Each structure stands twice: as structure tokens, then as C-alpha cells.
């Protein structure tokens, strides 16, 4: 059993204090004004699901990469994952910190209270180094002409009814030996206000995530999924900004993309939900973060008896908003066409708590960085449908990438 201690609400976080730890995972749950942080590895676990005969439940933090789809469906990746993320990685942390907007609780393993107090002193304070951690020299792996050719190929499948929607992604990359990812996340987190942000380290690999999208939330037997499709830029002028949000809300093409992703999610959750419990709570709502407006729908469900919450994660993975419809055929075509192995991008990072709650995001708007190679990359995508304009889809990929790049300047 863990020892739980209460600490003063943190005014700031010095992410550099986590540098001595080879593994940690932070997740913000913005709609609840809360966050959780798992630090260090007590033990690695195969799955966050509870095993038969297991003792009291403990916190489990982890990630599932897009590559995990090959364990769920007869699919294979054409290209290697250059960053080397495992298909899935789950761990029980040494220390867990949970902040609900009012109270900061620290949870330590037996005998770890002193070390946790020391970590609190160095972690929850103003950063000692406030200098910027910029990344420059970004280049696009896929040329615009090649991207338009890829769009043309995929839209041929759409026009003959093979698929109805597919998410096509491109990579921007640079090299920056000695870059400080902890300082980088400090900037990204402060400047994007991303509701489902995350910061993950696994050895030499870092993922700095400014995600605006929730994949799945669990509260006991209740599930919430929030597929997101549709993006518009923000403007400093209030009138132009309001107009952009309204244009997004009424755009027939964006609504069609969102509803298709929603329908796939409803179908996926129905596989693990109790009868007639899957409902659409919100259709094509608009959420605004500092740099973009987003269109989000919300679907709720209740887990069927004897179904573990992690089964719901796997039933809906990879998420509809990052694949297409029908999902399996869309994933086949993605593997054939894209110029990168997505790795952790399009995957999820999150946690399962002992009280039966869990929250998992969609890994988008993310900087991936490898300390040893010095390589940094950002993958962005957009949905292709029969109504889309490939030129505009190229611009949407750039808009999403720039929302991250500019936050790091």
C-alpha cells in the first residue's frame, strides 16, 4: 500500500527536476482542472488491466503506439519506427502526484516518503533556468507535390467507395544535439494551454505532447470518447476569430469528417458496452485553444458487465479520428502511402488510477525527440473525404505543425 501525503498546491513546475529519472509520464486533464504525474519505474507491467488474483490496485501509467494495431488486426508496417517506441509500455511508478485543482497529493511506495519529499522541493517551484529552448531548421520529409500525388491516389479509393475518409499524415523534422526537452515542454505547456497535454520519457526518447483531443475517459463503468476533426486558425482580432469559429461550426465538409469519425467510435464502443448505452452527448461542438479552433463530438457509453476498461481502449484503438472509415481498409492504405512509420504518433498516453478512473489522450501536436540521435520530429495530418481540397489539407497540416513550432520559439 502507498503512503499518501498532502502538499501545498504548486504555483509552478520545474520540469528539469525530472531529468534524473529515466521514465516519467505527465498528463493534464484540462476539462477537470487536474493533472497526474508518474515518476520512476517500480515495475513494468504488460497491461493496465487487473489480473485475476492480483492484490490491491495501484496506479498504472503508459503509452500505446500506433504500431499496436498490428496486434489487433492483420496489418504490418512498411517502414521502421525510427524513434523506436515499443508497441505498448505500462509501468507502476515509484512516485505519483495528483492535483485536482485545489489539493496536491503525493503517493509513495513504502519507505519512499523521504525521497518523495525531496523531489517535491525541487519539482514544484519556479524553473531555475527560464531561457528559451527553441528548435529551428524544420524540413518536410514529404514534398508538397508528393503529398498531392498521395492525396490523388487515396481519393481514387474514396470515389469508388473503397473508403469514405482517411487520415493522411506528413512529418517535419530537424536535428538539435543537446536540446533540452524539459525546457521545451515548459514552453510548449505554457504557450498552448492544451487540455490533454502530456510529457513522456522512456530512456533517450521524449514525447512533448500538446494534445487538444481526448481518446477515452473512464469513471468506474462509464466511458467518454471525444473524436476531433475540423480545425481553423485563431486570430487576434475578436471579430475575425469569432468568424473563423462560426465558419468551422457550419462547414459541411468538416462536419461530415467529424460525424464519420464519431460513427466509427460509436461502433467500436458498442463492442464492449452494455446494450443501448452508447449515446451521442454532443455533436460537432467547437473548442478553442490559444492557436486553433477545433470541432469535437462526444459519445458516452457504459461498460458491459465483466469487461475490463482496458478492453474498451483496445476495442477503439487506433482511434477513428486518426485512421478513417472503414477503419481497417483506411489503415491498410495509410501503410501503403505514408512516408513515415507513425510510431507513438496517433497512439495514446495516459493512466489508470486505483479508484477506477482513467484518462487517455490522442498523441497529436507532439514533438518527438531522441537525445542520442538529436533528431526531433512533428507529425501532422488531416482527413481526406470526397469533398476535400488537397491544397487546403496541405495547409491544415502546416497550421497544426506551426502551432507547436511557434510555441517553442
What is the CA 49 to chain-centroid distance, rounded?
Answer: 20
SS3 assignment for 172-227: EEEECCCCCHHHHHHHHHHHHCCCCCEEEEECCEEEEECCCCEEEEEECCEEEECC
Q: Any residues with CB less than 8 A from the CB of 361 and at least 6 apart, and which? A: 27, 196, 197, 198, 209, 211, 213, 214, 215, 348, 349, 350
CB 198 within 8 A of CB 357: no
Selecting among 183, 229, 327, 400, the annotated active-site residue is 229
State yes or no: is 229 an active-site residue.
yes
The closest of 304, 301, 335 to 318, measured between CA atoms, is: 335
Q: Which listed residue (94, 165, 213, 254) is catalytic? A: 213
3-state helix, strand, coil in the chain (%, to 5): 30, 35, 35
Which phi and psi (to 5°) does residue 117 adopt? -60, -40
CA neighbours closer than 13 Å in the CB half-sphere of residue 217 = 17
Give the phi and the psi of residue 14 in degrees, each rounded to 5. Answer: -95, 95
* Active site annotation includes 213: yes
Which residue(s) pair with 279 in the sheet? 300
249: cell is 461550426
Burial (CB count <10 Å: 0-12, 13-18, 19+), residue 251: middle
- Residue labelled with grid coordinates 492525396: 151
Q: Any idea which residues carry the catalytic annotation? A: 213, 229
Amino acid at each position: 500500500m502507498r503512503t499518501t501525503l498532502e502538499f501545498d498546491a504548486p504555483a509552478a513546475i520545474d520540469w528539469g527536476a525530472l531529468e534524473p529519472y529515466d521514465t516519467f509520464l505527465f498528463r493534464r486533464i484540462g476539462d477537470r482542472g487536474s493533472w497526474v504525474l508518474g515518476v520512476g519505474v517500480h515495475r513494468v507491467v504488460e497491461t493496465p488491466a487487473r489480473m485475476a488474483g492480483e492484490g490491491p490496485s495501484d496506479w498504472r501509467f503508459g503509452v500505446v503506439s500506433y504500431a499496436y494495431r498490428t496486434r489487433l488486426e492483420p496489418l504490418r508496417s512498411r517502414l521502421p519506427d525510427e524513434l523506436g517506441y515499443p508497441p505498448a509500455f505500462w509501468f507502476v511508478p515509484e512516485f505519483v502526484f495528483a492535483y485536482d485543482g485545489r489539493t496536491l497529493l503525493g503517493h509513495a511506495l513504502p519507505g519512499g516518503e523521504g525521497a518523495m519529499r525531496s523531489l517535491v522541493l525541487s519539482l514544484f517551484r519556479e524553473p531555475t533556468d527560464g531561457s528559451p529552448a527553441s528548435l529551428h531548421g524544420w524540413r518536410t520529409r514529404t514534398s508538397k507535390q508528393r503529398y498531392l500525388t498521395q492525396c490523388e491516389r487515396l481519393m481514387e479509393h474514396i470515389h469508388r467507395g473503397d473508403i469514405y475518409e482517411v487520415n493522411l499524415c506528413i512529418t517535419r523534422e530537424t536535428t538539435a544535439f543537446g536540446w533540452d526537452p524539459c525546457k521545451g515542454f515548459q514552453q510548449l505547456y505554457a504557450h498552448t494551454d492544451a487540455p490533454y497535454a502530456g510529457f513522456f520519457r522512456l530512456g533517450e526518447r521524449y514525447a512533448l505532447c500538446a494534445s487538444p483531443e481526448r481518446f477515452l475517459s473512464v469513471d468506474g463503468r462509464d466511458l467518454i470518447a471525444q473524436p476531433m476533426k475540423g480545425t481553423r486558425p485563431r486570430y487576434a482580432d475578436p471579430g475575425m476569430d469569432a468568424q473563423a469559429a462560426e465558419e468551422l461550426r457550419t462547414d459541411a465538409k468538416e462536419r461530415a469528417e467529424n460525424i464519420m469519425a464519431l460513427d466509427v467510435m460509436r461502433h467500436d464502443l458498442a463492442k464492449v458496452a452494455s446494450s443501448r448505452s452508447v449515446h451521442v452527448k454532443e455533436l460537432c461542438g467547437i473548442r478553442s485553444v490559444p492557436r486553433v479552433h477545433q470541432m469535437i463530438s462526444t459519445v458516452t457509453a457504459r461498460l458491459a458487465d465483466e469487461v475490463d476498461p482496458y478492453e474498451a481502449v483496445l476495442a477503439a484503438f487506433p482511434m477513428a479520428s486518426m485512421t478513417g472509415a472503414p477503419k481497417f481498409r483506411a489503415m491498410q492504405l495509410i501503410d501503403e502511402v505514408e512516408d513515415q512509420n507513425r510510431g507513438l504518433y496517433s497512439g495514446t498516453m495516459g493512466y489508470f488510477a486505483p479508484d477506477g478512473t482513467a484518462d487517455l489522450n490522442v498523441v497529436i501536436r507532439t514533438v518527438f525527440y531522441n537525445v542520442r540521435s538529436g533528431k526531433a520530429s512533428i507529425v501532422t495530418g488531416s482527413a481526406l473525404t470526397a469533398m476535400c481540397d488537397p491544397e487546403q489539407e496541405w495547409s491544415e497540416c502546416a497550421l497544426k505543425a506551426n502551432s507547436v513550432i511557434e510555441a517553442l520559439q
